[in-house]
Amino acid sequence: MTGNTHDVLAIGNAIVDIIAQAEDDFLVREGIVKGAMNLIDAERAEALYAAMGPAIETSGGSAGNTAAGIASFGGKVGYIGKVANDHLGEIFRHDIKAIGVDYDTEPLPEGVPTARSMIFVTPDGERSMNTYLGACIELGPSDIDTEKVKAAAITYFEGYLWDPAAAKDAIRQAASIAHEADRKVAMTLSDPFCVDRYRDEFLELMRSGAVDIVFANEVEAKSLYQTASLDSAVAAIREDCALSAITMSEKGSMIVTRERTGEVPAHPIDNLVDTTGAGDLYAAGFLYGLTHGRELDDCARLGGLAASEVIQHIGPRPQTSLADLAKQSGL
């Protein structure tokens, strides 16, 4: 897919991640659901921030992480997401631009602050997210740049956007613009709890053709179809969507099309440190490959490579050039 302003235009909740290591006892004491994204209010955000240990502040947000990964591969990528005109908003703007992402969404001049997610990483590498959406909820149709959507091979959005109401209208608008321009639309299911909240709407997006490509992990895929069987979920998603990629942690990933199901093993790692951003970076590698004419199995291998890089350090974005890693790995 050449001749586009962007390979991928990502739309998501612009969030600054505040990441700290924690013991399981801390999660129990604070009433945090392990391994999930828990939505919290401003008061809870302040309380958790006060309770957490030493932390790293870094730009995050699911689609923002994916955009950063695509840029690290050398892809052309844009991002739409709302921050406030404050300290955390400046951190987000600086980080995403510095890695090579085209980002010019107007910041919110006043009112609620930039979104932040307190992420607690337990010794097993699992991350538990506690997210105050702040300025994210102000993302709406007026933030969608029609010409950018038309000029992107794929417009990609995160399922988390279904929490703020105005963002739903923005996504539907973007999907309509993309399809009118003969472009593709992709989404990630984001989180099993997110799927539980919006199952019917996610299925409608897929079945209506508003979404062409879906990313999910195996828990999300099973949750989507309310089944304990991954095989049943795969059979159902094949009927509902033209292309799906299902990640299975250390077991690798599965590519599902109308015609076939293919499995690709996980990329080997030395040390699991933090799973934050693993699914986001898998999507980055897959979408980079897809927009550069790679076979689907190679797209999955690129996704696995990107995920393997990000889970071996603290933080949701690559610290090593993914383009260099792909070259070293023969991809």
Q: Token digits for 184? A: 């593709």
Mode of pairing for the β-strands spanning 37-39 and 127-132: parallel
DSSP letter (8 states) at residue 138: G
The model's pLDDT over 228-261, given as tens digits with 9 standing for 90+, comes to 999 999 999 999 999 999 999 999 999 999 999 9
Question: pLDDT averaged over the chain?
Answer: 93
Mode of pairing for the β-strands spanning 37-39 and 6-11: unpaired
At 3 the pLDDT is 55
Rounded to two decimals, the pTM is: 0.90
Q: How far apart are CA 63 and CA 11, in angstroms?
A: 6
Banded pLDDT at 75 (limits 50, 70, 90): very high
Q: How far apart are CA 126 and CA 128, in angstroms?
A: 7
Question: What's the burial of 49, exposed, middle or buried (CB within 10 Å: 0-12/13-18/19+)?
Answer: middle
Q: How far apart are CA 36 and CA 99, in angstroms?
A: 27
The model's pLDDT over 253-301, given as tens digits with 9 standing for 90+, comes to 999 999 999 999 999 999 998 888 899 999 999 999 999 999 999 999 9
Tell whether 261 is covered by a domain. yes
155, β-bridge pairs: 9, 185
The secondary structure of 6-31 as a DSSP string is EEEEEE---EEEEEEE--HHHHHHHT
State the average pLDDT over residues 196-208: 96
Tell whether 101 is covered by a domain. yes
Residue 208 is part of which domain span? 6-328
Question: What's the burial of 168, exposed, middle or buried (CB within 10 Å: 0-12/13-18/19+)?
Answer: middle
At 216 the pLDDT is 97
At 273 the pLDDT is 87
The secondary structure of 251-315 as a DSSP string is G-EEEEESS-EEEEPPPP-S-----TTHHHHHHHHHHHHHTTT--HHHHHHHHHHHHHHHTTSSS
Q: Residue 151: how many CB atoms within 10 A of its CB?
A: 17
Domain of 154: which CATH number?
A: 3.40.1190.20
Tell whether 28 is covered by a domain. yes
Tell whether 117 is covered by a domain. yes
Tell whether 120 is covered by a domain. yes
Tell whether 323 is covered by a domain. yes
Domain count, the chain: 1
Tell whether 1 is covered by a domain. no
Q: How far apart are CA 189 and CA 252, in angstroms?
A: 18
